Structure 1
Amino acid sequence: MTTEVATEPKQASWTRQRGEPSLLDVFRSIPVAASNTPWRKFLTFVGPGYLVAVGYMDPGNWATSLAGGAQFGYTLLVVALVSNIMAIILQSLCARLAIATGRDLAQACRDAYPRWASWPLWLLAELAICATDLAEVIGTAIGLNLLFGIPLEIGVMITALDVFVILWLQTKGFRKIEAFIITLTGVIALCFAIQIALASPDWGQVIRGFAPTTDIVTNPNMLFIALGIIGATVMPHNLYLHSGIVQTRAYGESVPEKREALKYATIDSTVALMFALTINAAILILAAATFHKTGQTDVAELGRAHELLAPLLGASIAPSLFAIALLCCGLNSTVTATMAGQIVMEGFIDLKLAAWLRRLVTRLVAIIPAIVVTLIYGESQTGKLLILSQVILSFQLPFAIVPLVMFTASRGKMGALVAPRWLTISAAIIAAIIIALNAKLLYDTAFG
């Protein structure tokens, strides 16, 4: 009781108090019964982690992992592993921020910073979501093309209709949305399990690929792909998303209840992100075992990868599995990007739009460059556009990570749930590494 009273006044250190929570229609909508067993309580918290994990295996990840595996074999597996560890640490901080303060990351920035600082952060977050949506548009359009022969230009425009999928899901309740995401994720995993079995990779080289090498930093081409993998894995919009959707659970207001909620939410996101790592590693391993092994080192386009899988693996089912998994990824990412967009807009500038309008605006911003590139350059350049979108995400990351680390390290803001010193130091090192890699890439680009 003493602890709870002591933490109450410290919440006043935020410069402004927030109004309504983001995603108000599902806020605290899933009850957490105090009488439940620990296992049943944990199951209540299972779900948000998988929505977050979707962003770690979207079509942008596919392009960067395919390019990395085709060009450099198994070497960049260590980047996928390290970026996944980064993601686990950062997502745990997101859950901590939300549960301790009742704010998502966007609201926390609006409350803590003056308008001249919070508005540019909002614009950068919107840029990240547009880059994410660009990857989803291209990936979904390619999936439609590969499965049904729909031209890319038409497929890109069809993706605007996914707003109806979102609206239908939202009428079914948040648990139904989570079940939809988890089901599609299971389909993706099954498709890749079969493809990896067909590819028969060199497992000795796979294990060695998880060992670090200095080539990643000294080779500019490898660094570019590595940054793309980091940008595609540790995604800025996921930080805002997780800190919003973890608050769909009605976990209570006392410190013990919040500690318990934090424990279960962290386990949920950690397990889900380890699952995402297996998918990302599988894509890279598949590219290394098929394209790199046969000298096809320039494969970055998803469509070209689809064409080459059947002759290289000797199985006609492989391309179809690839296309099905890609389409599932695009649909999954559509749902989570829409939620992240709502959280960012409502949190930073307190502007609430209807879900369908928010979705159409974001999607149109992504559709225009996708159509222009497809019409002018054709399918051959869509892979480069996908990788570029992921590098843009990597450059935006520090603007989301630095406030997150600062907020969760502040006892005045977090009270009894302030992040432990080791966790803050780890997250600060992650931020420093990403900033340093970005600076190195800028230098290499500017001076050759």
Structure 2
Amino acid sequence: MHPLQSWRSTFTSALERTLGVISSTPVSTAGVFCMTPPPHRAVSAFGFSAPSGGAFTPPEAAHSVSGQFCVLSGFPICHTQIITLQLRLLFQVCACSNPACRVLPRDLSFSFLVEAFLIPAPYYGAITQHVYLYGNVRLVCVYLDSEVTGLETRPFQLTVEKLEMALEGANSEGVKVKGLILINPQNPLGDVYSPGELQEYLKFAKRHELHVMVDEVYMLSVFEESVGYHSVLSLERLPDPQRTHVMWATSKDFGMSGLRFGTLYTENQDVATAVSSLCRYHGLSGLVQYQMAQLLRDRDWINQVYLPENHARLKAAHTYVSEELRALGIPFVSRGAGFFIWVDLRKYLPAATFEEEMLLWRRFLDNKVLLSLGQAFECKEPGWFRLVFSDKTHRLRLGMQRVRRVLEGKSQVAEDAPSC
């Protein structure tokens, strides 16, 4: 036997045995955080106050002398696990819900070419890399559109009817849908799902035995108080707790994307065990775990200093940009969450094509404005762009001046060029 084949066989057998073991004991080398919320769910998995999640109230954090393993010890440690990892691993595990799929194929990657997740579109494009390019799991888009059909509807609104249609279409093509991905608050729409909407989506998933992955990475960046954000874990009862998994990270709410710190909350022991086994290759250093424990335990600073100031700055920046857009007569979608506004520039396209959308994007780029075009988010309507507003006032002012120039068809003025 070739040495590589021998190594592959040994590795596969070892991983199969690991994935087959159900244990309530966390693996310290994988960097696992464990905690169990009280039965009444008064506190969400990440320690945010329920039901609206306005404050950050993590349990006390403790760490070992070596700093290699941290435990969030506010509640009795049990089977529910929060695992620090690169979040793409969850999609691989949930795509394979039966024990037979635990056997790895020869290329040492999960290959489920006819299995898929539903995802409302437009959506954050990097998820394609996490799910399809990395895990060979297909995405089935639940296409949303800007049309408002009644007084109770809004642009790009997700409904159970649209989920059912997408699922039926996938089944007719022989694609086995295994899960649903929800982003709340949504990126790029900035949409926030109400508790009633969340319950409807979760009941749909339960009817069809689908896993639901809820990405709440912007949950602390809801700056409009009237919005009333609710984490899925603040719901009084989850329709299918064993198939509901929640993710959060510090990359957005704390502006710490470089640390690659993320969390997974799941009550499914098989999922937790499988993902923790893979954490050996996606874990965090002890130093990062220690730093995060120190940050998250400082509740007073987070609740009384950081979050109020961050929300105030986001709201001020959003107000300025939205007022500038209104002055230009540009429609947009924004509900007071996240760092971006979904801007409708369809009237500036000579033809409603993605080729014209790309040309407009290029004109913005030539004038030193970097927007994200709608096609990158799988938006089916050409002409929508994502505009990020989370910046300082003087840069926003300059950026909006350049946006105005592009839309008015004017060339770049001399003051933008480097001085001699």
Same fold flag (TM > 0.5): no
Highest Rg: 1 or 2? 2
Question: Which structure features the higher share of strand residues?
Answer: 2
TM-score category, normalised to shorter length: under 0.3
- The alignment's TM-score, normalised by the length of structure 1, stands at 0.24
- The alignment's TM-score, normalised by the length of structure 2, stands at 0.25
Higher relative contact order (CA closer than 8 Å, sequence separation 6+): 1
Question: Which structure features the higher share of helix residues?
Answer: 1
